[in-house]
Structure 1
Amino acid sequence: MRHLIETFALEALRRGRSVEQFLGGAGTVESPEVRWVEIRPVPHGFVVVLHEDEDIGGEDFCDLHGLRGVEREDGQQNFGHEIGVVGAGTEPLHLAAQELGADPDRWCSQGVAGGDYLDYVRAGRPDLHPAE
């Protein structure tokens, strides 16, 4: 089973493990990107990090951690944007849901959300985030 129910995601965080979730496609046709969120333990709680990476993967390469971050305006590579640091309990999952639209039923153990990215690639990279 790829996805963790909320209770199991919280238990993984309590054990000092990171959880992650593929959020879908972003960017433009000329410069496609993917978005994913990671929650990892830090000394005083949990940090929620949004990753926006170049969509350069495929069926032979779907490791989200291996994708290149989108280049920032200052020319540096983006290694993730910290959304916030929160305490224990359900706070990190709620922050990710509130700020990024993360689905409480689609959290994965670290390294597993690449399976959702692969599903996205195999589906023809559909637009999962329609324009507002």
Structure 2
Amino acid sequence: MRYLTRQFAIGALRRGRGIEQFLGGIQLGGEAAIQWVAISPMDGQYRVSLHTVQDPDDDEFGDLPNLMSLDPVDQEYVGEGRELGASQDEAEAIALAERSTTAQPDRWVNNAVAGDEYMDFVRSRRDTAGAHGEQDQSRS
């Protein structure tokens, strides 16, 4: 995965391009879910949004905004996510996202790339489950 340096992330936002970061899987009300945070240029500022959607466990589906939202705030405007805040400054928007979520400074990607990370997440989860199954069989 090619992550953006802080300078490139700020540059992408200045050019009117969004950035995002896949945050991983969570359990929400007993249901498997995934989350990602996005920063999108909007109306002269940068909107920070958190997306919580159903985890389809599909390593061939990376179009995350089209997954079913599990956040009631997002259900009216599918794909918009829960707004965490906004800033007129690119660096402050990134800092806001990192303070408000588990986002890491060195894991930002261009808009629509978090889906690739989700697919890798599913594959690694399956590889880990398969390795545990093989270990269990070798013990019997």
Asked if these proteins are the same fold (TM beyond 0.5), I'd say yes
Q: 2:99 & 2:65 partners in 1: Cα distance?
A: 23
Q: Which residue of 1 aligns with 2:115?
A: 114
Q: Decide which structure has greater helix share.
A: 2
Larger Rg, first or second structure (1 or 2)? 2
Structure 1, gaps ≥5 residues long: 127-132
The structure 1 segments of at least 4 consecutive aligned residues displaced by more than 3 Å after TM superposition are: 75-79
Which is bigger in relative contact order (C-alpha 8 A, separation at least 6)?
A: 1
Q: Could you say what the CA RMSD is over the residues aligned between the two structures, in angstroms?
A: 2.3
Identity within the alignment, %: 38
Structure-2 separation of matches of 1:7 and 1:40: 16
Counterpart in the other structure of 1:10: 10
Deviations 1:51-88 (A, max 9, x none): 00000141221221221111529x86764100001121
Q: What TM-score results when the alignment is normalised by the length of structure 1? A: 0.83
Shift in CA distance, 45/77, structure 1 to aligned 2, threshold 3 Å: closer
Bigger shift: 62-71 or 91-100? Answer: 62-71
**What CA distance in whole angstroms lies between the structure 2 residues aligned with 1:106 and 1:63?**
19
What TM-score do the two structures reach when normalised by structure 2? 0.79
Deviates more, 1:8-17 or 1:26-35: 26-35
Structure 2 contact 18–39 (Cα < 8 Å) conserved: yes
Q: 1:76 to 1:89 in 2, by over 3 A?
A: closer
Aligned counterpart, 2:52: 52
Distance 1:41 1:28, change over 3 A: closer
Equivalent pairs, count: 125
| Aligned partner of residue 4 in structure 2, secondary structure | coil
